[in-house]
């Protein structure tokens, strides 16, 4: 099976948009905030009211004016978080292996929610497979196989002695 589908800023914007035709509402946005951002630092964000502002430098703003600016380039994800508190602008940068782990955590959570939408599930799996090429490939293949029959998550695999190195600040669920 060929896995050549690469994830880009437009794809991230489409998945994060609750108005997109994927039909998942804001589930992917919740997964992004929980799996990528909140694993690194606390961040208050209203996913239900989030609006996509721009592509390719993607900004997502909630009704309170809190924002996430996402700059995605190949194997690099830069997030600027602004929760409207003085001196509360934070930046998180994922590169290389940290990037792959963060994006795989998000995509795996998204895949978990798409059991009733096989085409979307396959699309997300292709994105995950294109990201996972490299040192953690076997882990992702195992994850996709196990997850397909039992909705296994990264935290389950970690608890069962399959080595997944955590990126900086990641907590066990």
What residues does each domain of the chain span?
Answer: 9-95, 97-159
Name, in order, each residue with C-beta under 8 angstroms of 58's C-beta and a sequence gap of 6 or more.
9, 12, 13, 16, 52, 69, 70, 71, 72
Structure confidence at residue 2 (pLDDT): 42
pLDDT of 151? 40
For residue 67, give the nearest of 41, 40, 42, 43 by alpha carbon. 43
The interaxial angle of helices 137-150 and 96-112, nearest 10 deg, is 10
Percent of the chain with pLDDT over 90: 23
- List the chain residues with pLDDT less than 50: 1-4, 134-139, 142, 145-146, 149-173
Distance CA 152, CA 49 (A): 29
pLDDT on residue 29? 94
pLDDT at 95: 87
58 strand-pairing partners: 70
pLDDT of 87 reads 66
* pLDDT value for 11: 84
Q: For residue 41, what is the DSSP state? A: S
Residue 56's contacts (CB-CB under 8 Å, 6 or more residues apart) are 8, 9, 10, 72
Given this model, what pLDDT does residue 56 score? 61
The answer to whether residues 127 and 96 touch, using CB atoms and an 8 Å cutoff, is no
């Amino acid at each position: 099976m060929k896995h050549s589908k690469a994830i880009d800023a437009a794809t991230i914007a489409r998945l994060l948009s609750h108005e997109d035709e994927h039909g998942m509402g804001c589930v992917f946005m919740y997964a992004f905030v929980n799996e990528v951002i909140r694993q690194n630092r606390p961040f208050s964000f209203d996913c239900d009211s989030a609006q996509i502002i721009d592509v390719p430098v993607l900004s997502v703003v909630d009704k309170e004016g809190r924002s996430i600016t996402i700059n995605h380039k190949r194997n690099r994800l830069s997030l600027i978080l602004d929760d409207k508190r003085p001196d509360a602008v934070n930046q998180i940068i994922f590169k290389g292996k940290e990037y792959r782990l963060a994006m795989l955590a998000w995509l795996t959570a998204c895949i978990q929610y798409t059991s009733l939408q096989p085409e979307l599930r396959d699309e997300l799996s292709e994105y995950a497979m294109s990201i996972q090429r490299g040192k953690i490939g076997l882990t992702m293949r195992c994850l996709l196989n196990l997850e397909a029959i039992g909705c296994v998550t990264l935290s389950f695999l970690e608890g069962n002695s399959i080595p997944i190195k955590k990126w900086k600040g990641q907590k066990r669920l």
